[in-house]
Amino acid sequence: MAFLSSIIIEPTNDPIIDVLVDGYVWDLTSSRTITWALADGLNPEHVWLDRDAALMTFGAALASIEQYIDVTFDYLGDFASPIPAGLAGADIVYTLDNAVVEDGTLAYAYYPGPEPFTDFEQYATEGGDVFMNFSAEIIASSSFQPGSDGFVTVIHEIGHALGLKHPFEGSPGRPTLDELDQSVFRDMDWFSIMSYSDQYEDELERWDPATPMVLDVLGLQFMYGVNTATNAGDTTLRLASEDYYYTIWDASGTDRADASDQSQGWTIFLPDFQPTTLVETLTGFALPSAQFAGTLVDSAPTEMIWLMGDIENATGSQFNDWINGNRFDNDLVGGGGDDELEGYGGNDVIDGGAGTDLAYFLGSNTSFTLTIGADGITMQDRRADGSGTDTLRNIELIEFYGETGADRDVLDLRQFGGPANLSGADLESFVELYIAYFNRAPDAQGLNFWGTAFANGTSLQEMASLFVGQPETLATYAEGLSNEDFATAVYGNVLGRVADQGGFDFWVNALNSGGIGRDFFILGVLEGAKAAPASDATQEFIDQQLADRDYLATKTDIGALYAVHRGMSDVNNAIQVMSLFDGSAESAANAVAAVNDLYAAALDPETGAFLMPLVGVLDNPFDAIA
């Protein structure tokens, strides 16, 4: 008799398990080994013509299953028929039955046995045995190479021999796949080797599964446990282009799905979906992007790789890839091409590589803080259940999107990421422009925009000229304002005082004569306040200049606190905090307190604001909340 018996597992009420597990399972409580044998058929005329090929095919099929489950398949030997094979202890026998021709049967197999399943037709150890019908043309002509109809037939029948049922056949308490959510899985061979449905039925030598598919792996792991040795440790998992579907299982370690050898762009979803609570295995997938129709069930791939287990990292091709992380800390590398990447949960490193690359973030931008610094750019999701804090490298575009894919908001980092390597003095000069032209603190996005323009070669003088024509400048200095009134307003905004008569006359005459424009005048006032006094300057002049310098510096520090250190961008709030400062120490403290209050509100992950702080360029002179 066979060494192993079977046990019955009742329906679990978990549809993903019950759709494939029919209840009969090998009892492996005493041993994790299932023995198998090769045998000629019961009819003396049914003999293997190429025994070596048969052994190789069945051994390869068992190996394709063994990598996922806690089972060792042990070859027992070659027998004249399945009866002596079973009596010798073979649990699964690979044998022949060429009698059925007309009904189209390619092969058949029996559930695990012999106890408690006893509904055998021919002999007592028939449970678990696999019969091939070489009278069927498809079987007779098959190469039995991975991806062929012959090979998938073999692993399909082994699925039965291990306890899997057809997904299109129900039984009490066990649904059909068509009764489940069709937006997730379909009754198709690349979801389960136990399916009869094939999108490419005329392709007999390719575009079929070469291993168990996602539903099969889950069902088998539920019955027999997981193989903890497959890809244990840190593994690079090459995503190879094959003319068949296959499943990569990774048991442990820090691993990388690598599509860098591909000759076209790929879509990669690292495992993050747990289809059933009864098996902890996470599921993802990878396939050529040209074959992905937005959802798997709407696709018809000729290449398809299921990714199952704990796979943390991914590398794309040299073409346009779509790479999606998971709940772990991911390292995602786009490679060449214009890639789209998303980290999801965890603290991820997202590196677009070459090309124009886009990073996605789920949620309104008001839940995020984008920190720009010389050491890199990070994106923090401030929500407790959000996507963590991601480090961005070689990312040109950021897109925030809603749950439904709507409410999209795109940020071009090429316009905002430049100030990190500027000097503090340069950055302060941009803050001063906002004070002089708009009489407010900068907004972080605007400040970073102009800082990037400066880093890319726009001079301060060119920036001043561009500021003059801004609508906000025209609103601050009303149309038709005389040069006298304009000069008075600038002195008030920049220095907080009325101009001295000599300086006032000099600048107004220059403006009236057309010798300078208003943009140069504003720069001149800013530069004059910071310039060293002449050697023959009076003490009164020196004292005034020191007071001017201190006034402008404090106003600049308030502006930097708001936009640089806190990264806020609400223009109305920027006006409010600057209006609180009148030159006194008390007013400076009030302005700082107002900034900190606004910042505390802006940090709220649900009702706050998008923040864009810049770190490592300016010191913060205020003792403020972090």
Domain positions in the chain are 6-179, 228-415, 424-615
pLDDT in tens, 99-116: 665 667 899 999 998 877
Using only C-alpha atoms, the chain has a radius of gyration, in whole angstroms, of 36
Report the pLDDT value the prediction gives residue 87, as an integer from 0 to 100.
94
According to the 3-state scheme, what is the secondary structure of 63-106? HHHHCCECCEEEEEEEECCHHHHHHCCCCEEEEECCCCCCCCCC
Residues 451/427, Cβ–Cβ less than 8 Å? yes
Alpha-carbon 32 to chain mean position: 37
Question: Does a cis peptide bond (omega within 30 degrees of 0) precede residue 114?
Answer: yes
Question: Does a cis peptide bond (omega within 30 degrees of 0) precede residue 533?
Answer: no
The CB-side HSE value for 607 (13 A sphere, CA atoms) comes to 3
Of the listed ranges 389-393, 414-418, 441-445, the one predicted with least confidence = 414-418
Report the pLDDT value the prediction gives residue 626, as an integer from 0 to 100.
45
Residue 224 has pLDDT above 90, yes or no: yes
Residue type for 489, please? A
DSSP string, 261-324: T-SS-EEEEEEEE-S-TTS---EEEEEEGGG--SSGGG---SSEEEEEE---EEE--SS--EEE
Dist. CA 107–CA 332, nearest whole Å: 44
Q: Is the dihedral of CA 556, 557, 563, 564 positive or negative?
A: positive
pLDDT in tens, 128-169: 999 999 988 889 899 999 999 999 999 999 999 999 999 999
> Token pair for residue 560?
């930097």
Query: pLDDT > 70: what percent of the chain?
Result: 97
Residue 42 has pLDDT above 80, yes or no: yes
More reliable by pLDDT, 144 or 505: 144
Dist. CA 203–CA 145, nearest whole Å: 13
- Residues 308-326 have a mean pLDDT of 98
DSSP state of 231: T
Dist. CA 612–CA 452, nearest whole Å: 14
Q: Strand 397-401 vs strand 236-238: parallel, antiparallel, or unpaired?
A: unpaired
Residue 624 has pLDDT above 60, yes or no: no
pLDDT in tens, 362-386: 999 999 999 999 889 999 999 999 9
| Structural fold of domain 6-179 | Collagenase (Catalytic Domain) (3.40.390)
Residue type for 309, please? G
Residue 392 has pLDDT above 90, yes or no: yes
Q: Strand 107-109 vs strand 236-238: parallel, antiparallel, or unpaired?
A: unpaired
- Residues 337-346 have a mean pLDDT of 97
- Which H or E run includes 39? strand 33-39
Q: Tokens 């720069």 map to which residue?
A: 523
Q: Which residues contact 232 (CB under 8 A, 6 or more apart)?
A: 251, 252, 253
More reliable by pLDDT, 548 or 611: 611
CATH superfamily of 228-415: Serralysin-like metalloprotease, C-terminal (2.150.10.10)
Confidence of residue 361 (pLDDT cuts 50, 70, 90): very high
Confidence of residue 625 (pLDDT cuts 50, 70, 90): very low
Specify the pTM.
0.91
- Residues 219-228 have a mean pLDDT of 98
Residue 188 has pLDDT above 60, yes or no: yes
**Percent helix, strand, coil in the chain (nearest 5)?**
35, 20, 45
The terminus-to-terminus CA distance of the chain in angstroms comes to 74
Dist. CA 299–CA 374, nearest whole Å: 43
